Amino acid sequence: MTWGLLLQAGVSGLLLGGVYGLVASGLSLIFGVLRIINFAHGAVMMLAMYTTYWLFALAGVDPYLSVILTAPLFFALGVVIQKVVIEPNRLAAEHNQLLLTLGLALFFENLALVLWQGDFRTVRVAYSNASFMVGEALVEVPRLVASGGAVLMAVGLFAFLRLTDVGKALRALAEEPEGAALVGINVSRIRAASFGLGSACVAVAGALITPFFYVAPDVAESFNIMAFVVVVLGGMGNFVGALAGGFIVGLAESLGAAFLPGSLKQLVVFMIFVIALLFRPQGLFGGSRGR
């Protein structure tokens, strides 16, 4: 057990956590407003990653720049999904809504498989392999950018929700659904916007991930469960909490990998998950609603 290993685990953990937080922020937002656990979140990110890939492969668009195109595109997709699939069922039992998003995830993942087959694709940019050392610890530039993106997104969302009308309406809807309707907020439009916004966020996440992670129909599986853990830790609906939760999960995973034998690092994350669910389901930082 050397300090070098501990330092590396810490650094990698934070970088990984940033990625998790980035992926989870949209999920947190969607839960906060719509109260649904969106199992299709990772699948939407996967579609965004493919979009990023094709923009890069066919038109040479840099993944980071492509968010200008993908974010609005996936906002629109999110709105469509919400209006077509979620909204008609908004009064359905919660478990049915869960299964809806599960069916949607299956649909999207296999749509990708049909369209683009299962082989891995990579976005190879000049900075894909850029890295530097901090003492004995490796820092990979694309992951650092993604983590930075996570922070920016949290700040951006925070500002958006505080300062814009749509943002305020979103918050109102999240905190007081009945009251929001009474004060004249167009509830169905805001609901659609929230899913759109959440999808746009995860699309940005996908774009930021492609420089260092492969693109394939099943990439969602690497992030889905972690995204839920992060959202629970951060507090459902609290996307700043999601960022913090992401760092915690990333660190736990990375330190677990450094200190535990085998692949038991996965156990650490799940135990944190269970403990958080049992003892603080409103999240470490408080969510928009508790139980």
Partner 1 sequence: MGAKVAAALAVAALVALPPLLPKYHLEVLISVLFWAYLGIAWNLLGGYAGQFSFGHAAFFGIGAYTSTLLLLQVGLTPWVGMILGGALAAAFGLFEGYLSFRYGLKGPYFSLVTLAFAEMLRVVGVNTKAVGSSLGLVVPSAKAAPAMFMFSGKLPYYYIILAMGALALALTWKIGRSRLGFSLAAVRENEDAAETAGVDALATKLRAMALSSFLTALGGTFYAQYFAYIDPTISFGPSVSIGALLPAIVGGAGMVLGPVLGSFVLTPLSELTRYALRGRAGADIMLYGAILMLVISFLPQGIVGLVRERRARAGQR
Partner 2 sequence: MSEHTRGLSGEPVNRRTFLATAGAAATVAGFPAIVRAQAREVKVGYLLPVTGPLAYEAGLALNGLTLAVDEINASGGIKSLGGAKITMMPGDTQNKVELGNSEASRLIDQGAVAIIGPFSSLVAFSVRQVTEKNKTPFLLLAAVADNLTEGGLKYIFRMQPNGKGMATLTVNNMFEMAKNANVPIKRVAMMHEEGNFGTTMGNHVEAFSKTMGYELVQRIPYNLRSPDLTSELSKIKAARPDLLIVSGYYGDSKLIAETAAKLKIGVTALVGLANAAYSNPKFIAENRELTEHLFDGNYWYNPQSARARTVFDAYQKKFGSTMANHGVQGYQVTFVLKDALGRAASTDRDKIRDAIAKTNLTDQILTQDAIRFDDSGEGINATPALIQVQNGKPVVVGPARFAEAKPVFPVPKWKG
> Rule CB under 8 A: which residues touch partner 1?
37, 85, 88-89, 92-96, 98-100, 102-114, 117-118, 217, 225, 228, 232, 261-264, 266-267, 270-271, 273-274, 277-279, 281, 291
Site for partner 2 in 180-209 (CB under 8 A): none
- The smaller minimum CB distance to partner 2, of residues 172 and 272, is found at 272
The verdict on 122 binding partner 2 (CB under 8 A) reads yes
Contacts of 64 (CB under 8 A, 6+ apart): 145, 207, 208, 211
- The smaller minimum CB distance to partner 1, of residues 116 and 214, is found at 116
279's contact among partner 1, partner 2, none, with CB below 5 to 8 A by partner kind, is partner 1
- The smaller minimum CB distance to partner 1, of residues 2 and 291, is found at 291
- Sequence-distant contacts of 286-289: CB under 8 A, at least 24 apart: 286/235, 286/238, 286/241, 287/32, 287/234, 287/235, 287/236, 287/237, 287/238, 287/241, 288/32, 288/174, 288/175, 288/235, 288/236, 288/237, 288/238, 289/35, 289/236, 289/237
129's contact among partner 1, partner 2, none, with CB below 5 to 8 A by partner kind, is partner 2
Interface stretch with partner 2, choices 34-42, 97-105, 138-146, 280-288 (CB under 8 A): 138-146
The verdict on 54 binding partner 2 (CB under 8 A) reads no
The verdict on 9 binding partner 2 (CB under 8 A) reads yes
Provide the sign of the torsion angle of the four alpha carbons 50, 68, 75, 37, taken in this order: positive
The span from the CA of 168 to the CA of 114, in Å, is 41
Say if residues 146 and 21 touch (Cβ distance below 8 Å).
Answer: no
The span from the CA of 169 to the CA of 161, in Å, is 8
- Structure token pair of residue 96: 């049915």
**Which chain residues interact with partner 2 by CB under 8 A?**
2, 4-5, 8-9, 12-13, 15-16, 19, 113, 117-120, 122, 124, 129, 131, 138, 140, 143, 213-214, 216, 218, 221-223, 253-255, 257-258, 262-263, 265-266
